[in-house]
Structure 1
């Protein structure tokens, strides 16, 4: 990698010659890991011009570093960091925090870190048995056609989308495809002014909460439920009312009076996988009309209904405009895409759009157009079919392994999905179980993080099959069974 001359600075208080200081700057850069073996150093002319010194000074410094095997000269190609240069120390202490005298506790207006998301294992792919939720299997993704679509988005024809600031607008090609092909699959009809693209479902939920809720108001969420709902509501100072779910999701009759908004996952409850039946959906909408509350519907994973066709979204039954629909491509494509959408009444979308403008204008145009091409050319549908075929097989393999080893399924979903909601015997703390299994190469997700009320049950956990190869499922389940005993 070429090293920029602008990364070097002379210290006016340095006690020594300029030549010595340049040598020490190079050595320090190598020790700190900024310069690595094979990196091409700035030319002597460029570095001399940047530092305001004579070229011979830089040349002499480089020559000395070559003599000490720190750099190597490659003919007319220049100077490069040598493979024999001092190695990076195995462990480095972080630089000390500067004592600026600033009282950050007093300066920070609102504390968001107190309501953060549960900790995640970043190197999950290094474990042989990762039964973790929400990660993609790279072997299933259509890398070749995604790359082609990205190149199309970079082409001259689409250059305006790539380079222009759309201000508050979204890519019309992507919006049109969502309106004509994605939403109709959920039974939803909408206009362009009733949809807003977001940086994933989490961003969509945050925007919706910020527009609709004020501190002191009340909202109902599922118990157990998506911890992201709880985080967002806590950050907005909203009173939370958890409503215990059953095999049909959130019971409308259990929703307390006085709430202004409820957050639900009716098509695929998070994390138990329950699906809300049609009669309960109708009752929920009727209750919302009579009590005058709004519904935010997180419609994640609807594409993974490989056992039975997915039920129409709650939004499709909405005749009064009370449902805000949230969708995402992050689960169906890959989590790092961070692209989702909101569907709601035009007045709500207008305010949500204005809020988004203040935060980030719009999602990157290149990503929007790449996805638009991927959808329009049929690659998205082909990918979903391929994923569902693989997930059906993995689900079957996991179901057989679970039955063989006598593990207890608390919820698995009738339509498909990507996980099982599990119950360990009473007295088993699944957080401790997860720690022990991690030492054995197995990753599971403890279930207590999905509960609002405390103390939460400690014997629930989730097993996902979206990112683990089918061939490893049986052994992974066997190791879980052995650890539970």
Structure 2
């Protein structure tokens, strides 16, 4: 029996080459059970005409499927689904008998909820995307990244790609971080003091799990990164949210029984406050007085285009009590999910063991690709390119803010990719954000950053990492229009 021609169609949003798309069409039909063993496929000529592609594209796709034993070629008779092609399992769902299990009682801990917001999945389809932490594909070095990925896939690097490293990391990546990334922040560390993580969020989770439990106390900035607050609350620790001032976290507000202090001194999240040198020294002195560990999240230091950021807090640490968290998410792309922890060897040893019990290690191919991208100079070139573009966008944003009479609450002294904004006291920015969606404008309400008992609804964050300069002015004008309407209600 021949497979009907009209069962084949190319998806308009499909990615990859046309040959790969044709291969996927056939393989998907076989794996789903729609195409049976022994069934004949349309001729390459007819299928090419039907799909609107060249005949050689279909022929090459069929040849590859034959090599992978999805299809078989029978001389002049054409192509057929192979007799040894994968067959989906046949099963009948078992009927439910009796009462259904109450999973509300079976679940011991609740991980849903929390304050971490969700943005629309189709956010790139919006015209004015003032959201934080997303990459602009036009700024990424696709060509050199692809070359580094192909090099990492080569036979020479097969061990780094394929082996289960258990709890080890790619030595090339660790070496680059130790010799190049950390010295730029004034930090010196040995390989035994560095752990590769699945992004900064994973690094913070590992740190919280190792250092905190019921009966211990953590101090966190208020406002703060909402996911960090959710993570800490789930450890069962006593959580102390300390409001920041114009210089960041006030050391004298940290209680004497604090075990761990979480801080973003070089670029506070989300206000962008830069903690001055004197405050940093005072924070370390307070940590010494109460014998607390300090966790420094240095999440965006590469995005400095107005002035160089202050050296990392860890560079001032002479007692080995600061744990440093770094990330490549803002400088490369967030989907990479690659970061690193730097700390005393006893701590890294425990964090490494915990990571190994959960996910072994970040994928070897990703680590080696990033190592090549960094070591060959592509990373530094990309950082310079992004910094220039962000500088231009920041200029446009500052002008649009002034033109529309909006208020900046956090200045971002050395750059970054977002601004912390403040609306009139009576305005709820969550309502403004909802009003802006039909106008194709995305912003980030600020309320989730604040502790529940100190929630402020009139703050919001404006990101400019993924919006073109010529859209900033019109988008900010729409924002100002809706905000003023809400202010007058």
Shorter-chain TM-score category? Answer: 0.7 to 0.9
TM-score by length of 1: 0.82
User: Compared with structure 1, are the counterparts of its residues 48 and 412 closer, same or farther at alpha carbon in structure 2 (3 Å cutoff)?
Assistant: closer
Q: Could you say which residue in structure 1 is the equivalent of 2:180?
A: 181
Shift of 1:49: 12
Cα distance in 2 for partners of 1:381, 1:41 equals: 41
Give 1:90's aligned residue: none
Q: Cα distance 1:49–1:412, how it changes in 2: closer, same or farther (>3 A)?
A: closer
Describe the shift of the 1:455–1:188 C-alpha distance in structure 2 as closer, same or farther (beyond 3 A): closer
CA contact (8 A) 1:274 1:414 kept: yes
Per the alignment, in what secondary structure is the counterpart of residue 145 of structure 1? helix
Give the length in aligned residue pairs: 429
Alignment of 1:34-73 (within 5 A): 39-40=25-26
Distance in 1 separating the partners of 2:28 and 2:323? 55
Specify whether residues 417 and 98 from structure 1 end up closer, same or farther in structure 2 by C-alpha distance, changes over 3 A only: farther
Q: Matches of 1:255 and 1:478 in 2, distance apart? A: 41
Aligned-partner SS, 1:310: coil
Structure 1, residues 32-54: CA drift from partner, whole Å, max 9, x if none? xxxx999337999xx89988xxx
Distance in 2, matches of 1:48 and 1:205, equals 46
Quickly say closer, same or farther: Cα 1:161–1:98, change in 2 above 3 A.
farther
Cα deviation, residue 374, structure 1: 0.4
2:294–2:321 Cα contact (<8 Å) kept: yes
1:76, CA displacement in angstroms?
4.7
CA-based RMSD of the aligned residues comes to: 3.2
Aligned-partner Cα distance in 2 for 1:380–1:360? 27
CA distance in structure 2 between the partners assigned to 1:127 and 1:41 by the alignment:
34
Q: Secondary structure at the match of 1:463?
A: strand
Q: Which moved more, 1:239-248 or 1:369-378?
A: 239-248
Alignment-derived partner of residue 402 in structure 1 = 401
Q: Is the 8 A contact 1:224 1:244 kept in 2?
A: yes
Distance in 2 (alpha carbons) for counterparts of 1:412 and 1:351: 38
Q: Residue 273 of structure 1 corresponds to which residue in structure 2?
A: 272
CA distance in 2, matches of 1:181, 1:141: 21
Shift of 1:328: 0.4
Hey, what does 1:84 align to over in structure 2? none
Cα separation, 2, equivalents of 1:155 and 1:287: 51
Matched with 2:135 is 136
Judging changes above 3 Å, is the alpha-carbon distance between structure 1 residues 423 and 41 closer, same or farther for their aligned structure 2 residues? closer
Give runs of aligned pairs for residues 107-118 of structure 1, distance below 5 A. 107-115=106-114, 117-118=116-117
Give the equivalent residue in structure 2 for 1:317.
316
Residue ranges of structure 1 left out of the alignment (5+ in a row): 1-18, 28-35, 81-94
Deviations 1:88-116 (A, max 9, x none): xxxxxxx9x97872221222121111336
Corresponding residue for 1:191?
A: 190
- Per-residue CA deviation, residues 378-434 of structure 1 (Å, 9 max, x unaligned), is 000000000000000000100011001110111121111111111111211100000
Contact (CA 8 Å) 1:223, 1:242: kept in 2 or not? yes
Partner residue of 2:211?
A: 212
Cα pair 1:222 1:243 within 8 Å, conserved:
yes
Give yes or no for the alignment of 1:255 onto 2:254.
yes
Greater shift in the superposed pair: 163-172 or 334-343: 163-172
Structure 1 residue 79: Cα displacement: 6.8
Equivalent residue number for residue 384 of structure 1: 383
How far residue 173 of structure 1 moved from its aligned partner, in angstroms, is 0.5
Change (3 A) 1:39 1:304: closer
Q: Which residue does the alignment assign to 2:224? A: 225
Gaps of 5+ in 2: 8-20, 51-58, 60-75, 82-92, 485-489
| Distance in 2, Cα, partners of 1:49 & 1:120 | 38
1:458 is displaced (CA, Å) by 1.1
Equivalent residues of 1:222, 1:242 under 8 A apart? yes
Question: Cα distance, 1:190 vs. partner?
Answer: 0.5
Give the match for residue 67 of structure 2. Answer: none
Secondary structure at the aligned position of 1:319 is classed as coil
Per the alignment, do residues 148 and 98 of structure 1 end up closer, same or farther by CA in structure 2, a change over 3 Å counting?
Answer: farther
Q: 1:346 to 1:98 in 2, by over 3 A?
A: farther
CA distance in 2 between counterparts of 1:294 and 1:141 reads: 37
Deviation at 1:258, TM superposition (A): 1.3
Cα distance in 2 for partners of 1:193, 1:42 equals: 45
Q: How does 1:74-473 map to 2 (within 5 A)?
A: 76-78=77-79, 101-115=100-114, 117-454=116-453, 456-473=455-472
Shift of 1:454: 2.7
What does residue 72 of structure 2 align with?
A: none
8 Å Cα contact 1:431-1:446 kept in structure 2: yes
Would you say the 8 A contact 2:394–2:464 is kept in 1?
yes
Contact map agreement 1:332 1:384 (CA 8 A) in 2? yes
1:224·1:451 contact (CA, 8 Å) conserved in 2? yes
Q: Contact 2:29–2:35 (CA<8 Å) still a contact in 1?
A: no
Shift of 1:369: 0.4
Q: Relative to structure 1, is the Cα distance of residues 116 and 361 closer, same or farther in structure 2, using a 3 angstrom cutoff?
A: farther
- Tell me if structure 2 keeps the 8 A contact 1:242–1:453: no
